[in-house]
Structure 1
Amino acid sequence: MDWDKLRIFHAVADAGSLTHAGERLNLSQSAVSRQIRGLEEQLNTNLFHRHARGLILTEQGELLFDATSAMSKRVEAAGARIRDSEEEVFGELRVTTTTGFGTLWLAPRLSKLYEKYPELKVDLMLEERVLDLPMREADVAIRFKEPSQADLVRKRLMTVQMGLYSTPGYLKAAGTPERLEDLSAHRLICQNTNSDQVGAGLNLIQQLMLYDIKSLLTVNNYFGVLQGVLNDLGIGVLPDYLIQDFPDMVRVLPQITSADVPVFLAYPEELRQSQRVAAFKDFVQDEIIAYRKLARDS
């Protein structure tokens, strides 16, 4: 099969039109159209349904697009390995983690990484969905459970627990609960039980809901929960990794905590020699060591 035709097909399928694909490839619309017709003749099938608003892949086109997408990601991975210098760290590094951890713990610490490697370009991809590392949806992941995908290098970073936290201002106004039953007189701020979150956090929230919580604020990530707590709205269910950065926060009912949640750093086996990945891994591990030391000393 003609590699050049496959490259053009992939661009058309991704863009959804001959014109936009031509702009990306610096080719005329007619040239792109000829290549697609040639590929369809070679395969003896139609790859697109053509209509006034653009192009839609046929079933056969979907199969081919899946294959060219996998090829494209593999080529990107090979290019990333080739570009990695043995002595320098530069270029793009795509890092995925949860919205809460990325915004509250990781992003505030990235200045130290940039100070050491000013030519590094970090693309933070913050979402609860687990991206496919072997298919190169991201280069590195920090996940709150051990990755199950094959062909990944895994490193356990630390353990996190969820607990109850509030502000001195809220507790002064509403009082400090001394028993779980006292929570019924307070507003609880937590993640929605239908939102994506670690199982240990969900289990803790479900247990708290058994105590006749009359006032409730739910958010779909820990960043939103934190903002509610900081604005004196109530008592929040939050992970302990962020408390060092908010020293005025008060632990409420300290005996109430979630099960341990392991935190892992993972990346594809094929990036084991990547200098960018190694630099990021070392940076995160150094920050974890500093985090643990501060926790012991406090």
Structure 2
Amino acid sequence: MSTPTPLDWSLLQAFVAVMRTGSLSAAAIELKLTQPTVGRQIRALEDRVGEALFDRTPQGLRPTDRALALLDHAAGLEQAAQALGVAMAGRLDSPTGTVRITTSEPFGVERLPELLQPFMEANPGITIEMLPSSRIENLLRRDADIAIRFSRPEQPDLVGRQVGSVEYGCFASETYLARHGVPETLADLARHRMVGFDRDGFGRRASERMRLPVEAWRFVYRSDSMIGQHAAVRAGLGIGIMQARIGARSGLRRLVAAEFAPKDAVWLVAHADVRQGRRFRAVYDHLAAVLPAEFAAR
């Protein structure tokens, strides 16, 4: 067997940037390159793969199925490279102390540990406290040091940046659909069994923002734990709302996608004073490096 030719890392950087931004020109700006250079890198990668990764349309570049299949692998390599850069920047006097992060329960439990692992290996003196909560913790009172929020921060004296977006959808298990039928429209959900929030105001506010007619729905299972809701949907108790990528990973079927596919911006937020501390700044910078690939458009 012949040894595969090493892949030029710059080709993967260009690929991820185009997937993230949607065009050669925007990717060139992000990478601080010229548009022809990025175009040549994409064509070189396509030659290496053996097929086109983007369909050229009047509306711009549309990723092919092969490109979508490669994105997770390429984004993972980008995350590792960014984490390595952050770790190398603090090679001799790595910071120490505790940093408290708050974010949504599903992301905080299922994805955040994996994203933090390279950073924590390189910074053994840092301890992370993770507060999984759908509530918007008050950073001004220092309930947390850093927040990953799925809505734009409104409080004054906070600094933050948008790091991507998430799409939501309606999902159900095949077991539930076999027993109760498949809703064809959003209005049909009023005749189905639903899983949703209990007493937490976050769920109600989110439903209002997404313009969901929840007052007409029959909730057979309520929980303010989003992971609890997801478990109930997977068990076939009813239909629930969740992040589209979580629903897809869970093997659930997405419903009424033509009518319901709202998106929320994802923000990395901290108090302005917090970012002056070395350990807080180190964690913030690492998250700022890895989150854009995590929340890139799929």
TM-score of the superposition, structure 2-length normalised? 0.59
My pick for the range that moved more, 124-133 or 150-159, is: 124-133
1:1-298 matched pairs, under 5 angstroms: 87-107=93-113, 109-192=115-198, 195-197=201-203, 199-204=205-210, 206-210=212-216, 213-214=217-218, 216-243=220-247, 246-257=249-260, 259-292=262-295, 296=298
Name stretches of at least 5 consecutive residues in structure 1 with no aligned partner.
Answer: 1-83
Other structure's SS at 1:225 match = helix
Letter in 2 for 1:265: L
The match for 1:68 is none
Residues 186 and 260 in structure 2, CA contact (< 8 A), matched pair in contact too? no
Residues 169 and 262 in structure 2, CA contact (< 8 A), matched pair in contact too? no
Q: How far has the Cα of 1:100 moved from its partner?
A: 4.0
CA distance in 2 between partners of 1:223 and 1:274 (Å): 33
Residues 204 and 258 in structure 1, CA contact (< 8 A), matched pair in contact too? no
Q: Which has the larger radius of gyration?
A: 1
Other structure's SS at 1:255 match = coil
Cα 1:272–1:215 change in 2 (3 A) is closer
Q: How far has the Cα of 1:162 moved from its partner?
A: 2.6
Other structure's SS at 1:242 match = helix
CA distance in 1 between partners of 2:269 and 2:231 (Å): 29
Other structure's SS at 1:232 match = coil
Q: How far has the Cα of 1:292 moved from its partner?
A: 4.1
Q: Give % identity.
A: 26
CA distance in 2 between partners of 1:198 and 1:286 (Å): 32
My pick for the range that moved more, 271-280 or 196-205, is: 196-205
Cα 1:163–1:130 change in 2 (3 A) is same
Q: How far has the Cα of 1:262 moved from its partner?
A: 2.2
Cα 1:234–1:205 change in 2 (3 A) is farther
Letter in 1 for 2:257: P
Residues 170 and 260 in structure 2, CA contact (< 8 A), matched pair in contact too? yes
Deviations 1:133-179 (A, max 9, x none): 23333211122333233322211122223320122332233332222
Q: How far has the Cα of 1:233 moved from its partner?
A: 1.3
Cα 1:131–1:181 change in 2 (3 A) is closer
Root-mean-square deviation over aligned CA pairs: 3.1
CA distance in 1 between partners of 2:151 and 2:145 (Å): 17
Deviations 1:89-121 (A, max 9, x none): 322111122334423443454434333333320
Cα 1:198–1:87 change in 2 (3 A) is farther
Residues 140 and 267 in structure 1, CA contact (< 8 A), matched pair in contact too? yes
Pairs aligned (count)? 209
Name stretches of at least 5 consecutive residues in structure 2 with no aligned partner.
Answer: 1-89
